[in-house]
């Protein structure tokens, strides 16, 4: 097949690359699909990173709050035994210095790790063995961060 003296087909019957111009709609469609799959992968990675960051933040807050109650017990060293408390999920009432510190500690746990002090029933704290070998345990729900149902952090110290 000849057009004005110029051959548009090669010997095998295909057009030569210099005669082809532009890209076909199929090529554009394939590249859009490949790009879409890549962007979905990036979005999924971002979601996993955000959930991991939330879990890490909650662990850091539990560590900070544990250190805060340890320092409160050290400031009230002669009454350190009064800080022993079973696993408590409700904010206890105040009264003595130790009871006020425990109330503030559980309330802080709920406001920094949990949803809110009033509505949260899954963020709990426990102190046992004081003053000789204090074991401070913090437990919270890690579902928001994509972890398991419960996370627990335990710290052991001497007052």
Query: To 5 degrees, how large is the angle CA 142–CA 147–CA 153?
Result: 55
CA distance 81 to 37: 59
* DSSP, res 17: G
Cβ(153)–Cβ(137) under 8 Å? yes
% helix / strand / coil in the chain, to the nearest 5?
50, 20, 35
Q: For residue 9, what pLDDT is reported?
A: 58
DSSP 76-130: TGGGGGGG-EEEE-SPPP--SHHHHHHHHHHHHHHHHTSS-TTT--S-EEEEEST
Q: For residue 66, what pLDDT is reported?
A: 95
Ordered per-residue pLDDT tens for the chain, 159 residues: 544 555 555 566 666 666 666 678 888 899 999 999 999 999 999 988 887 788 888 889 999 999 999 999 999 999 999 999 999 988 888 889 999 999 999 999 998 887 666 677 889 999 999 888 999 999 998 876 665 678 899 999 998
Q: For residue 21, what pLDDT is reported?
A: 66
Q: For residue 57, what pLDDT is reported?
A: 86
């Amino acid at each position: 097949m000849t057009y004005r003296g110029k051959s548009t087909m090669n010997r095998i019957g295909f057009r030569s690359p210099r005669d082809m111009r532009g890209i076909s709609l199929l090529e554009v469609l394939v590249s859009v699909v490949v790009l879409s799959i890549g962007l979905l992968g990036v979005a999924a990675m971002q979601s996993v990173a955000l959930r991991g960051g939330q879990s890490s933040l909650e662990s850091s807050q539990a560590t900070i709050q544990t250190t805060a109650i340890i320092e409160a017990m050290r400031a009230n060293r002669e009454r350190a035994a009064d800080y022993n408390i079973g696993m408590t999920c409700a904010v206890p009432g105040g009264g003595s210095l130790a009871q006020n510190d425990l109330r503030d500690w559980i309330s802080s746990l709920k406001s920094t790790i949990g949803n809110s002090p009033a509505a949260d029933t899954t963020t709990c704290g426990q102190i046992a063995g004081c003053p000789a070998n204090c074991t401070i345990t913090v437990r919270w729900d890690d579902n928001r961060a994509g972890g398991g149902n419960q996370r627990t952090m335990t710290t052991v110290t001497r007052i």
